[in-house]
Amino acid sequence: DNRRPAIVAESRQQAAGLYAARETREWQTMDAAHHLHPFSDMGALNQAGSRVITRAQGVYLWDSDGNKIIDGMAGLWCVNVGYGRTDLAEIAYRQMLELPYYNTFFKTTHPPVIELSQLLSEVAPEGFEHFFYCNSGSEGNDTTLRIVHQYWRAKGQPDKKYVISRRNGYHGSTIAGATLGGMGYMHEQMPAQVPYIVHINQPYWYAEGGEQTLEEFGLARARELEAKILELGADKVAAFIGEPFQGAGGVIFPPANYWPEIERICRKYDILLCADEVIGGFGRTGEWFAHQHFGFTPDTMTLAKGLTSGYVPMGAVALKRHVADVLIAAGDFNHGLTYSGHPVAAAIAIANIKLLRDEGIIERVKTDTGPYFQQALREALADSPLVGGVDGAGLVAGIQLTSDKASRGRFENAWEIGTLCRDFCFKNNLIMRATADRMLLSPPLVINRSEIDELVEKAARCIGLTARELG
Ligand code: PLP
């Protein structure tokens, strides 16, 4: 313990001296020369030059030109405890010295992965007692598929092979993750998709609800699952997977009756219900897991992002006892990753979960900052002619842009409108994401009231600038 200040000082010094000080242009040129960016038009990006983020603290980022930017997206929905937590850095440093790596194959284990699993079983809802580790949300969903298939094989029902997911869902970018997701623009770039994965429609009332009430639409969209099960045959369907709220698809909150109906249908036809909690997990809605907000109980949960608050990569699949029991009794499970349960990632995850719990961060999202944010955002946007509605709970929100408030009008060039708004955000040092004509916010869970005021004021200003530009 005497060494703690020294360790922190030392690691700060090292980080500060890690890279040469360069001009922004030089970094951009090097970046364009050698770095291929995810989900980007790389040619266009190379021309324009990427923004270079050099450091971060709390809810703020700084770029290489010294701009201070408020991060309304917690990175990619992941930096739940905020930036700059020296306690997480310190744990990583100490764990690296103690045991930087060992695997969990071949009858071995280690303290960090044991302690993490125990801790997860304490914070997860009743019955989630077993955890399988990987490195990302995509791998988590691949792992979920592997587990689902092994489960039904072990139960003597190997014909239960189909997994049903939703259009405009997002489950990652591996081949299986992209297949599970319902993003047409990703499917188009693949010669084939993983077989036995089929999609039903999403519960996006604003765009697809027509004349139906929210309740009628919620039931109708949930019952598409039943229709699909009957079409395929219940004895052929293994699982349904969905995000409790669609994140990348636009922070789409389903009508309140949607998930209870989905759950009823899964139980009726003996289909596993898999929740992709990669975004929703670890406090985003003010509950530990988003399915708790929506009032249903899945059989499996995919976890990543907030598990380590993005400080290092880690993903996991949480299994309810009845699923784990089957898997454990089934003999060899031929799946695993070199870094399954990585000790440094596990050590950070433990420290991160303790921060979320012991500093009352999630509790504050539920009782204070979440309701404050939701109300402030709705009030600030209430009079905007461009805003058709706001979805959200806790510290996540989707703002629907509309061409006509009264008729829920949609822009034909929805992606251009969202991009226009996002460009205003960029210029105003606000990170707000656009998915077509929806603007998304998901700030670090440690954001305080005055930072929320700033975030909301900037978001409203940028939406106002967009409205003015559109005339
Ligand atoms: N599932 C959901 C719901 C996600 O939002 C994401 C990423 O945004 C993923 C899975 C994939 O996670 P990763 O990018 O860590 O592979």
Structure ipTM: 0.99
**3-class DSSP string for 115-171:** HHHHHHHHHCCCCEEEEEEECCHHHHHHHHHHHHHHHHHHCCCCCCCEEEEECCCCC
- Residue with structure tokens 């251009």? 416
In a mutational test of the pocket of ligand 1, which residue from 138, 180, 309, 442 has the highest number of ligand atoms less than 8 Å from its CB?
138
What is the percentage of the chain residues whose pLDDT exceeds 70? 97
CA distance 175 to 191: 11
Question: What is the tens place of the pLDDT at every residue in 405-424?
Answer: 999 999 999 999 999 999 99
CA distance 56 to 69: 9
Is the pLDDT assigned to residue 17 strictly greater than 80?
no
The alpha carbon dihedral of 53, 286, 305, 94 has a sign of: positive
What secondary structure does DSSP assign to 39-50, as a single string? Answer: TS-HHHHHHH--
CA distance 258 to 248: 19
How far does residue 251's CA lie from ligand 1's centre (Å)? 13
Closest C-alpha to ligand 1, atom 7: 172
- Long-range contacts made by residues 207-212, C-beta under 8 angstroms, separation at least 24? 207/408, 207/410, 209/408
For ligand 1, residues with CB inside 6 Å are 76, 136-138, 141, 170-172, 243, 247-248, 276, 278-279, 304
Question: What is the tens place of the pLDDT at every residue in 433-451?
Answer: 999 999 999 999 999 999 9
Question: What is the tens place of the pLDDT at every residue in 136-178?
Answer: 999 999 999 999 999 999 999 999 999 999 999 999 999 999 9
Structure-token pair, residue 218: 């919620």
How far does residue 386's CA lie from ligand 1's centre (Å)? 29
CA-closest candidate to residue 405, choices 372, 442, 437, 433:
437
Question: What is the tens place of the pLDDT at every residue in 19-35?
Answer: 877 899 999 999 999 99
pTM of the prediction? 0.96
Res 8: pLDDT:
61
How far does residue 385's CA lie from ligand 1's centre (Å)? 33
Q: Please answer whether residues 191 and 374 qualify as being in contact, where contact means their C-beta atoms are separated by less than 8 angstroms.
A: no
Question: What is the tens place of the pLDDT at every residue in 271-328?
Answer: 999 999 999 999 999 999 999 999 999 999 999 999 999 999 999 999 999 999 999 9
Q: Please answer whether residues 39 and 172 qualify as being in contact, where contact means their C-beta atoms are separated by less than 8 angstroms.
A: no
Res 72: pLDDT:
98
Once rounded to an integer, what is the mean pLDDT over residues 192-221? Answer: 98
How far does residue 242's CA lie from ligand 1's centre (Å)? 12
Is the pLDDT assigned to residue 16 strictly greater than 80?
no
Res 6: pLDDT:
72
Helix (H) or strand (E) holding 53: strand 53-57
Res 471: pLDDT:
86
Once rounded to an integer, what is the mean pLDDT over residues 179-201? Answer: 97
Indicate which atom in ligand 1 lies nearest the CA of residue 76.
8
